[in-house]
Structure 1
Amino acid sequence: MQSNPQPEQITKTVVGVTTVFIGGIALLSSVFVVPAGEVGVVTTLGKVSNTPREPGLNLKLPFIQSTHNFSVRTQVIPEKFSTLTKDLQVIEATATVKYAVKPGEAPRIYSTIATDDSAIYARVIQPSLLKSLKSVFSKYELDTIATEWNNISTLVQESVSNELSKFDYVAVKGLDITGLKIAEEYRAAIEQKQIAQQQLLRAKTEVQIAEQEALKFQTLTRSLNDSVLYKLFLDKWDGKTKVVPPIRGGSTPPVIVGR
């Protein structure tokens, strides 16, 4: 007859299986992978580690440490905005900001700002962007903004970079401002002003040309005398045409009397 397993053997088997199971779970919990383009932030019972984890296979203490990933890829987000100019005109446009989280700042972002990527723009980028847009555009009148759009965009990008550098969380990669919208009557007024400026510039140019021509004529007139005229005549004389030479000491020019 076959005897029943002893209680001790059953206990050992159960303990062994449980140990292997728990050990497997612990082993799996002690490794984690940080995807490319991201960094990992490790917390130990809520305390944030100052050193972010690089992409690849990483180790952590099972059941004690947790990981949180942050993207460090360049993010591109369009932001529609409206603001007032120096002459109190409303303009609308779209600012597309390009930024990336600095890898070394991920732990500080997790501690002070956000526990995931989605909140970074709303809490860091957007307030600084809108502040810079209003600050720059309020310094210029509408016609200046419309005619010097590229220069204004550059000033806004510099202002945004300076504003975000106060926090040093992210790096601004670029800023494009497109789709400027202004009231149609002001657009027409700006175009008329540009036409008037071009006409004024053309008139000034014509005046300058006329003044230069007058100056040339005055200079030529002052340089002409009887001797110069006689010299010019001799240079052109064919040697056959009869002329009456001027009276010596007089001012009468030579006279052509025919052949």
Structure 2
Amino acid sequence: MRPANGDGPGASFQVIGAVAVALLLLLTQTIFIVPAGNVAVVTTLGKVTGGQRSPGPNIKAPLIQATSLFDVRTQVRPEQFSTLTKDLQVIEATATVKYAIKPSEAARIFETIATDNSQIYARIIQPSLLKALKSVFSQYELVTIATEWNSISELVQDKVAEELSKFNYVVVQGLDLTGLQIAEEYRAAIEQKQIADQRLLRAQTEVKIADQEAQRYQILNSSLDDQVLYKLFLDKWDGQTSVVPALPGTPGTSAPSVIVNGRR
């Protein structure tokens, strides 16, 4: 006899298979994996719900919830720029900034300024970086910038960090300025100034040393008297010299007497 539905066992297997596939699809829509070095932002019907999700397996409501990943590892991004100095000279260089998104701010970033990693630099880092570069370099003349490049690089980093702290989205971990380019005629003038500064520093050092020597001799000269000189002579006397100064301050003598060949 055949089953009433006329399909037999094959139909049951088909139903079971369909249910299994549906459950598998539902599971893939429910469980998602956040890779190491990333956090996920979950939205429910387009609205951010809850905080960021940490690396590892996570659960979301199927169909109505979606996820967006943000890389929170250190990012390194070079930025070529040109700007004006205080004396209105154009310089070109490369600023390489190192930064990282604050994991706790991923949800706020998604809500207010960027919905994926590709937008972070252009919308958050770059505007603050260019503003800081313009602000710092406009305070110094070209010669100062060329000779104090490392110090100015630190000032730019501090300024970028200050600008970004207003929004509190990211952490600046470092900034390097490289590849300074200036007009050739100004480069020669800067080199001449550096040479002149080195000569001036050398001359100042020599004057300082001479002043110290003069002060030392002045102190030594003021401390010398007959008693000290006599003591110094005795310290160096070999006991055989035929001319020896008498002890200073001998009564009845207006000048130090001497002993010559054993006689006064």
Question: Which category describes the TM-score, using the shorter chain as reference length?
Answer: 0.7 to 0.9
Aligned to 1:158, the other structure's residue is in SS state helix
C-alpha displacement of 1:180: 1.2
Letter of the 1:88 partner, please give it. L
Aligned to 1:99, the other structure's residue is in SS state strand
Mapped partners of 2:219, 2:58: distance in 1: 89
Aligned to 1:33, the other structure's residue is in SS state strand
Aligned partner of 1:245 in structure 2 is none
Q: Alignment RMSD, CA only?
A: 3.5
C-alpha displacement of 1:53: 0.8
Aligned partner of 2:81 in structure 1 is 81
Mapped partners of 1:174, 1:44: distance in 2: 37
Mapped partners of 2:39, 2:254: distance in 1: 103
- Which ranges in structure 2 are unaligned for 5 or more consecutive residues? 245-251, 259-264
Contact 2:132–2:159, Cα closer than 8 Å, also in 1 = yes
C-alpha displacement of 1:238: 4.0
Aligned to 1:194, the other structure's residue is in SS state helix
Mapped partners of 2:75, 2:15: distance in 1: 51
Aligned partner of 1:257 in structure 2 is none
Aligned partner of 2:195 in structure 1 is 195
Mapped partners of 1:167, 1:186: distance in 2: 39
1:171 paired with 2:171, answer yes
Aligned partner of 2:101 in structure 1 is 101
Q: Structure 1 stretch 103-112 or stretch 126-135: which is displaced more?
A: 103-112
Contact 2:71–2:117, Cα closer than 8 Å, also in 1 = yes
- Which ranges in structure 1 are unaligned for 5 or more consecutive residues? 242-247, 255-259
C-alpha displacement of 1:39: 0.8
Per-residue Cα deviation, 1:43-87 (whole angstroms, up to 9, x for no partner): 111111231111111111111111111111111111111111111
Per-residue Cα deviation, 1:96-136 (whole angstroms, up to 9, x for no partner): 11111111111111111111100100000000001001101
Aligned partner of 1:149 in structure 2 is 149
C-alpha displacement of 1:221: 8.5
Aligned partner of 2:69 in structure 1 is 69
Per-residue Cα deviation, 1:139-177 (whole angstroms, up to 9, x for no partner): 111111111111111111111111111111111111111
- Alpha-carbon distance change, 189 to 16 in structure 1, aligned in 2, over 3 angstroms: same
C-alpha displacement of 1:28: 2.2
Aligned partner of 1:28 in structure 2 is 28
Aligned to 2:32, the other structure's residue is in SS state strand
Mapped partners of 2:21, 2:109: distance in 1: 37
- Alpha-carbon distance change, 135 to 238 in structure 1, aligned in 2, over 3 angstroms: same
Mapped partners of 1:70, 1:187: distance in 2: 44
- Alpha-carbon distance change, 175 to 15 in structure 1, aligned in 2, over 3 angstroms: same
C-alpha displacement of 1:23: 2.8
C-alpha displacement of 1:6: 2.0
TM-score under structure 2 normalisation?
A: 0.77
Mapped partners of 1:240, 1:52: distance in 2: 99
Mapped partners of 1:217, 1:108: distance in 2: 72
Contact 2:101–2:171, Cα closer than 8 Å, also in 1 = yes
Which residues of 2 match residues 1-259 of structure 1 at below 5 A?
Answer: 3=2, 5-6=4-5, 13=12, 18-208=18-208, 238-239=241-242
Mapped partners of 1:80, 1:63: distance in 2: 44
Mapped partners of 2:215, 2:27: distance in 1: 96
Mapped partners of 1:43, 1:114: distance in 2: 14
Mapped partners of 2:219, 2:7: distance in 1: 128
Between the aligned residues of both structures, percent identity stands at 60
